[in-house]
Amino acid sequence: MKRRIGILTSGGDCPGLNATIRGVARACYERFGDDVEIVGIHDGYSGLINNQCREMQRSDFSGILTQGGTIFGTKRTPFKMMKVVEEDNVDKVKAMKATYKKQNLDCLLTLGGNGTHKTANLLSEEGLNVIGLPKTIDNDIWGTSVTFGFHTAVDIATDVIDRLHTTANSHGRILVAEIMGNKAGWLTLYSGIAGGADIIVIPEIPYDIDKLADACLKRAQEGKGFSIMAVAEGAFDVEEAKLKKKERARLRAEAGITTATSRIAKQIEQKTGCETRVCVPGHMLRGGSPSAYDRVLATKFGVHAAELISQDKYGYAVAMVDDVVTENKLSDVAGKTKFVPADDQMVKTAKDIGISFGD
C-alpha cells in the first residue's frame, strides 16, 4: 500500500524541528520502503493554502539532525484567521483541503505549538488525516510533559544567566534577563533555577514590585553586591492581574510598555538605589543546534508518528506522558495551554532554596 505523507512546520521555529522531520522520514522509509512518498510543504499552513509543495528524496533528510531551524521554512498563520476570508478572497480551509487533494496526500503531519495544533484539529474535523507533533520552546502544550525545543532553549537561557553573574558581580548591579514565554513561565522557571537566579518572575504568579525590591535589598544586606532576575516576557504585576487581558494590553500600549521587564528594572532601581540593567536574549533562545536531549526526543516523537501512520491512526497529537511516548486526541489538547501551577514542585523547589517570585 503506497502512502503519500505531507509534512509542514508552522509557527515559531525552534531547535529540533529538523531532527523530528528526519525521525519521521527515516522511520517511514524503514517501515514502508519504496511504498512511501514524502511531500515537504513550505512555510507552514501558508504553503498548504498556496500549494507550495515539493516531493522529497531520501537524501534530503541526510545531515539535518544537528541543524537548527527547519528545512521546510515556517510562517505564522494565526488560527483566528483561518476561517476569515481576507482581501485576497481566499477561503483558507477550502484551499488547504484542495492542496491536500491535489497532492494526493494520505495524511498530513504538522509540527508546531498551540496554534498549529488548533488548525490541525480543524483540518481533522474537516475530514483530513492529520497527526500533530508538539514543538515549542515554551513547553506549554497541553497533554505532554515536554515538547521538543524546550530543553535546548533552557540550555541557552541558562548560559545567558550564567554569563550575567560575572558582569553583575563585577559591577555590583542588578541584572534582569528577559526570557521568552508570553503565556507560560516554564522556560523562565527551569533556566532560572539552573542558572542560579535570585528572583524568578513568571506570568502564572503575578508579582508585587515591593517584594521584588525587598528581595534585592535583602541580598545587599547580606553582603551580596548583586542580584540576578529571570523575568518571563509575559509577566505582569498584582494590579494588572485584576484586569482583563485586553484592558491590560491597552494600558500598557498607552504607557509605551511592551513587556514588564524594563518597567521592573526601572522600578527596582528607583526603590533600591542599585544600578540595574536589562538583557534580552530574544530569538537567540530559538536558534542553533538542538541539544542531545532534544535530538533524542525529536527522533522518538518522529518514530511514533510513523507508527501512528502505519496504524492509520489519525486525529492525534504525539506526546510524552510519564516518560512514555504516546498520543492524545487532537480534540482533547487543541486550544488548551499548559500553565505552571502555583504549587508546582519546581516552584516549591525554587522557593525552598530562597528564590523569590515576588508573591
Query: Bridge-partner residues for 319, per DSSP?
Result: 326
**Is 301 found in the same domain as 275?**
no
pLDDT at 249: 84
Do 187 and 225 lie in one domain? The reply is yes
pLDDT per residue over 163-185, tens digit each? 999 999 889 899 999 999 999 99
State the pLDDT at residue 151.
Answer: 97
Reported confidence tier of residue 228, pLDDT bands at 50, 70, 90: very high
Nearest to 173 by CA among 260, 282, 264, 268: 268
**Would residue 224 count as lying in a domain?**
yes
Residues 224, 262 within the same domain: yes
* Interval 318-329: pLDDT, tens: 999 999 999 999
Question: What pLDDT, on a 0 to 100 scale, did the predictor assign at position 359?
Answer: 92
Confidence of residue 250 (pLDDT cuts 50, 70, 90): confident
| 118: CATH | 3.40.50.450
Q: Quick check: is 181 in a domain?
A: yes
Residue 60: band (very low, low, confident or very high) from pLDDT cuts 50, 70, 90: very high
Q: Which helix (H) or strand (E) holds 349?
A: helix 345-352
Asked if 223 and 303 sit in the same domain, the reply is: no
Task: State mean pLDDT over 338-346.
Answer: 95
pLDDT given for residue 253 in this prediction: 85
Q: Is residue 350 part of a domain?
A: no
Residue 356 has pLDDT above 90, yes or no: yes
Residue 359: inside a domain, yes or no? Answer: no
- If asked whether residues 278 and 301 sit together in one domain, one would say no
The whole-model pTM stands at 0.94
Q: Within this chain, do residues 81 and 12 fall inside the same structural domain, yes or no? A: yes
- Residue 87 scores a pLDDT above 90: no
Query: Please, what is the average pLDDT of the chain?
Result: 94
Task: Give the C-alpha separation, 215 to 176, whole Å.
Answer: 13
pLDDT class for 247, splitting at 50, 70, 90? Answer: confident
Q: Indicate whether 355 belongs to any domain.
A: no
Residues facing residue 172 across a β-bridge: none
pLDDT bucket at 246, cuts 50 / 70 / 90: confident
Average pLDDT over residues 234-260: 87
Is the pLDDT score of 310 beyond 90? yes
Number of domains in the chain: 2
Q: What is the C-alpha to C-alpha distance for residues 209 and 263, in angstroms, rounded to an integer?
A: 10
Provide the 3-class DSSP secondary structure of residue 312. Answer: coil
| Residue 357 forms part of a structural domain | no
Taking the C-alpha atoms of residue 209 and residue 232, their distance in angstroms, rounded to an integer, is: 15
Same-domain check for residues 298 and 188: no
Q: What is the mean pLDDT of residues 306-325?
A: 96
pLDDT of residue 67: 94
Q: Is position 342 within any domain? A: no
Identify whether residues 143 and 248 lie together within a single domain.
no
> pLDDT grade, residue 100 (50/70/90)?
very high
For the stretch 173-217, pLDDT in tens is: 999 999 999 999 999 999 999 999 999 999 999 999 999 999 999
From 251, 286, 321, the end of a domain falls on 286
Per-residue pLDDT band at 251 (split at 50, 70, 90): confident
CATH number of 220's domain = 3.40.50.460
- On whether both 9 and 121 belong to a single domain, the answer is yes
Give yes or no: residues 98 and 191 share one domain.
no
Average pLDDT over residues 227-241: 94
Q: Are residues 44 and 126 in the same domain?
A: yes
Order of strands across the sheet that contains 276-279: 199-201, 227-232, 174-179, 276-279
Domain match, 123 and 191 both: no
Query: Is the pLDDT confidence value at 245 over 90?
Result: no
List the domain range (segments joined by +) for residue 269: 154-286
Percent of the residues in the chain that have a pLDDT greater than 70, as a whole number: 100
Q: Which three cell numbers stand for residue 56?
A: 522529497
Query: Per-residue pLDDT for 162 more than 90?
Result: yes
Q: Among residues 230, 263, 286, which one ends one of the domains?
A: 286
Give the residue numbers marked as catalytic: 138
Predicted local distance difference test score (pLDDT) of residue 258: 80
Grid coordinates representing 283 are: 530569538
Is residue 311 in some structural domain? yes
Query: Quick one: pLDDT at residue 248?
Result: 86
